[in-house]
Amino acid sequence: MLMKSSAQSLTEQLAARFAQRIRDRLLAPGARLPSVRQCAQQQGVSPSTVVGAYDQLLAQGLVDARKNRGFFVRESGLAVAAKDARAQDLPTGGGSGHAAAAGHRAPLNATALIRGMFHGISDKPQPGLGVLPPQWLETAFLTTAVRRSCSVNTLNGISLQYGEPLGDTSLRRALSKKLAGLSVQAAPSQIITTVGATNALDVVSRTLLRPGDYVMVEEPGWAIEFARLDSLGARILPVPRRADGPDLDVMARYCELHAPKLFVSVSVYHNPTGFCLSPSSAYRILQLANQHRFYVVEDDTYSHFAPAHATRLCALDGLQRTIYVSGFAKVLAPNWRVGYLAAPAELVERLLDTKLLSTLTTPALLERALAWCIDQGQLRRHAERIRTRLDAARNRSVKLALAHGCTFAAEPVGIFGWVETGVDTDALSQRMLDVGYLLAPGALFHANRTPSSLMRINFATTQEAQFWEDLKRVMREL
């Protein structure tokens, strides 16, 4: 909220607010700023204050004024914003070509939600974030696990040399047993540890893809995955995701026309819909993979919240045409950055070469601590407690959403809800920033940034009635 009592004038405060959003990619290249009249109404200031703020942004090179059209974020303004950010010790990053092409409708950049985790929009619970609140993850056993791995002999033994290329042996053994509980049979020698699940996906992509190769990806899907593949020069083939799995007819046509090299899927508690794969769909996907010789990358990031008996492609296929990816950031210790992949034996050496070229090895200290957490049953019991807490949070969040005029486009399960708002969530997300909330608009989950009235919410951070009251008010204004 703009403060008249601040040492800065209202004009300076408003200009600083928009400049920060441009730096954080919350206003992407090509995005249109609100009209002077609209901005004045939204911010509760005079039109002259807005004009003055926009003039400051023009002077800083962050926006362009287009006659009879308004003010737009400059493409070259990103370089200026990055320079200012470095001067202020703020994080910087790259933009997306998709956002620039979207013109004045440009939604949040793929990395905007990640930036929001590092320096929050406000101290309010953030509905658009993809992680659980820190207080949910607090445990006593993490300290014990690290302490056990930090005895003098152990610490010297694993800190004064690079770790094992595949990853710590004790962790790979523990992961092999853990995967067996999901009916995924993977020997320790088929498992490679990585710097989080995202790094595992990147290792697979860099190993199996070349620029120009086609990749099938579920849509709606994870914004970071679209952006990551795009940065590698892959050609993305969006496959509509249904309640029982991907649209198999679309997949079959892609296979005939483009000979894709990969299909990336979240089979269980799909992000953002929460859908789970059916056995019949899984069988047909594997038929296509064998017939057309592509690999299936199964991202099981949400396995800790899902039942062990849920249908998983890697369990049915036995790691023949499938590669399993997962991690622990969602359930245990996000900053440990421990992820892993399990792959067909014939691919392990190629995947390992890519890992070594990108990160060399991974930190054995935290891997060994995590192995202890798994072996002692601490992770399992912790996940059970979180599932119970998440069930209660989901029930509260769903009741509040329905009471405030929203509906669900998919059955509410897991950590995320796919919510129908009835308004353009790109515009809604920009307005909610003024109230202190970072949303995840539906356009963010489409490869071509299709405008949407849907948004993804985190059930753990949408339990307060105030958020839903503010959302309803802004929806009415739109």
Contact yes or no for 351/324 (Cβ under 8 A): no
Q: Report the percent of the chain where pLDDT is more than 90.
A: 66
Task: Identify the domain boundary among 376, 400, 425.
Answer: 376
Distance CA 173, CA 185 (A): 12
What is the domain count for the chain? 3
Distance CA 207, CA 264 (A): 14
Alpha helices in 232-311 (DSSP H): 248-258, 279-292
- Assess if residue 474 is contained within a domain: yes
| Owning domain of residue 161 | 141-376
- pLDDT bucket at 412, cuts 50 / 70 / 90: very high
| CATH number, residue 275 | 3.40.640.10
Residues 149 and 198 in one domain: yes
pTM equals 0.84
Task: Identify the domain boundary among 90, 106, 122.
Answer: 106
Q: Would you say residue 45 has pLDDT above 50? A: yes
Residues 71 and 124 in one domain: no
- Assess if residue 135 is contained within a domain: no
Neighbours of 337 (CB within 10 A): 18
Q: Would you say residue 84 has pLDDT above 70? A: no
HSE (side-chain half, CA atoms, 13 Å) at 173: 7
pLDDT, mean of residues 427-444: 91
Q: From residue 8, how far is each of 3, 20, 46 by CA, in Å?
A: 9, 15, 16
Residues 289 and 384 in one domain: no
Q: Which helix (H) or strand (E) holds 356?
A: helix 348-359
Which residue shows structure tokens 């800083």? Answer: 60
pLDDT, mean of residues 402-418: 96
Residues 366 and 381 in one domain: no
Q: Which of 126, 189, 209, 452 is nearest to 319 (CA)?
A: 189
| CATH number, residue 381 | 3.90.1150.10
- Assess if residue 288 is contained within a domain: yes
Query: Quick one: pLDDT at residue 467?
Result: 97
Residues 335 and 215 in one domain: yes
Residues 365 and 252 in one domain: yes
Task: Identify the domain boundary among 376, 403, 426.
Answer: 376
Residues 254 and 393 in one domain: no
Residues 308 and 338 in one domain: yes
Residues 426 and 370 in one domain: no
- Assess if residue 136 is contained within a domain: no
Q: Is 330 exposed, middle or buried (0-12, 13-18, 19+ CB in 10 A)?
A: buried
Q: Is 80 exposed, middle or buried (0-12, 13-18, 19+ CB in 10 A)?
A: middle
At 241-263, the pLDDT tens digits run 999 999 999 999 999 999 999 99
- Assess if residue 162 is contained within a domain: yes
Residues 368 and 445 in one domain: no
Residues 367 and 300 in one domain: yes
Distance CA 218, CA 245 (A): 9
Neighbours of 208 (CB within 10 A): 19
Residues 211 and 333 in one domain: yes
- At 257 the three-state DSSP class reads helix
Contact yes or no for 44/50 (Cβ under 8 A): no
